[in-house]
Structure 1
């Protein structure tokens, strides 16, 4: 029996921008600026910024920088070909630089995000008011969406289904970390990973660390330039955890077992829903895997709605390539949420009249205090 949602929301960087999360294009300029002294002073920051300074050109006054896709693509070339760039930049050192750049992205997003942002809170209030029969696929690393949900719902992270098994479910009282969680109802699928997911490369399990998205750029520095955090070790095999995020690159490792599971779950949700609503997502060239996912999953009867205030004609045609039933709403996420009648219509009105009705399913209803 197929279970269907009324709406599947797809969140891109524009959805989190209103609550302070930086856009992808802004992250590298922040890393190369003097905004955060820890980046310039830490071993991780130094090895990454020196590599970028020696191998790329930019103009800060003209605001011209290489993209993160370009930098990661350059690093991935040498990693995939098992080549050295030079005597200074061996294959092993390039791997370290890539790890460091991922950590800097983690640091910047965590530092720039506003934990008390109101946009996602308004979104959840609308969902609870009109129709909680939804699922979410977010391509953002930040935890603003979950933080807002937790602030409104008793139990917080306990009531989120990430579509993957979390080792928090299994740990006994002696081994468990704070904030032990249990499986629950509101489905949030994070297609590029999350700042609060710690992955063990030995047992291949994920530990959820609710509310803990910080990273120490000074921790565990080694002579090779590698910087690892010893804050969390796997309780099963004592291996060091790594934050599970898929960096923006034209060579994305979507074969990662956790990411593959999430994308499979996303396909099932999309195929069985009435409508898909994209918010603040521009379909960048590096996300060709998501274009493929939606192209395979969407059917002609499903309605596609795009909430985006961009004036780009390319964005329009990116969506028209997916479906003939696309409705464009040229508003920012925050302005969209202020239009209650529009939000109610999208959450409660069915899609195409020819769409088959989804099978009813139990819903999670938060208790408001």
Structure 2
């Protein structure tokens, strides 16, 4: 799906582009652990309009001895550098099931952000990192730069018995609940509360404000899925379109203007 020359990440690109022009006072909670929304942010928001706040701490926030420049990461929760012609604001992107670009060290309990990667082997956790400015491919990033301990990919795969005890996941769930409690408007995009995600419905049931307005964007809604949402709130609008069409019809302006 392409729009104005955008590639396959066009939906996320269009979303961030619209958001940058409308209002940056919002948060995104996602159960997806792919990097498409992150990559689109890098193209359309960083650093002129925003910095991603993943709501967890990364080794990348400290300049480790073995790191080269592109491994460092600006901490969005600290004073932001004064960049020319830029007005970046921290925008929370809460990936409550983890992310393919997060690698966790069980020795030091730190998480490494690995945004620059060309491919990953999900069986071995092997990730090839590269700097697109200087060279094509570098070494495989499988060991913690702090203690040399093997890194593991920080994701919670689909399962009816998800383990949510990981400290990083617990912190993300806490951050998500904080955002839900203060949200005046909440939009669900292409989500249908699968049985394996009973914990997601629980945090909305517990934290959603009585006066919050809900929007459900999904072209494949049926009676059962609508009833699941009505169990959360009676103040709800169903938008039976795909996300791109909803954005074109003014969804972003309705939500955050």
8 Å contact from structure 1 (residues 195, 213) kept in 2: no
Deviation at 1:289, TM superposition (A): 0.4
Per-residue deviation, residues 173-194 of structure 1 (Å, max 9, x unmatched): x222533102121110001111
Task: Report the structure number with the largest CA radius of gyration.
Answer: 1
Whole-angstrom CA distance in 1 between matches of 2:148 and 2:242: 45
**For residue 132 of structure 2, what is the aligned residue in structure 1?**
none
Asked if 1:273 corresponds to 2:201, the answer is no
Change (3 A) 1:194 1:115: farther
1:86-127 per-residue CA deviation (whole Å, 9 max, x = no partner) reads xxxxxxxxxxxxxxxxxxxxxxxxxxxx97521111101111
**Aligned pair in 2 of structure 1 residues 155, 128: CA closer, same or farther (>3 Å)?**
closer
Aligned counterpart, 2:59: 167
SS at match of 2:19: helix
Say if 2:9 is the partner of 1:117: yes
Shift in Å, 1:213: 6.1
Equivalences, count: 227
Name the structure where helix makes up a greater proportion of residues. Answer: 1
Alpha-carbon distance, 1:347 to partner: 2.3
Higher normalized strand content (fraction of residues): 2
User: Could you say what secondary structure the match of 1:175 adopts?
Assistant: coil
Contact kept? 1:196, 1:213, Cα under 8 Å: no
Matched-pair contact (CA < 8 Å) for 2:20–2:45: no
Shift of 1:314: 1.5
- Distance 1:266-1:228 versus aligned 2 partners, 3 A rule: closer
Question: Do the aligned residues in 2 keep the contact of 1:300 with 1:324 (CA within 8 Å)?
Answer: no
Partner of 1:339: 249
Which structure has more relative contact order (CA 8 Å, sep 6+)? It is 1
Alignment partner of 1:317 out of 224, 227, 240: 227
Alignment partner of 2:159 out of 243, 249, 264: 249
Structure 1 segments unaligned to the other structure (5+ residues): 1-17, 20-113, 218-225, 349-369
Partner residue of 1:192?
Answer: 97
Q: Structure 2 length normalisation: TM-score?
A: 0.82
TM-score scaled to structure 1, two decimals? 0.58
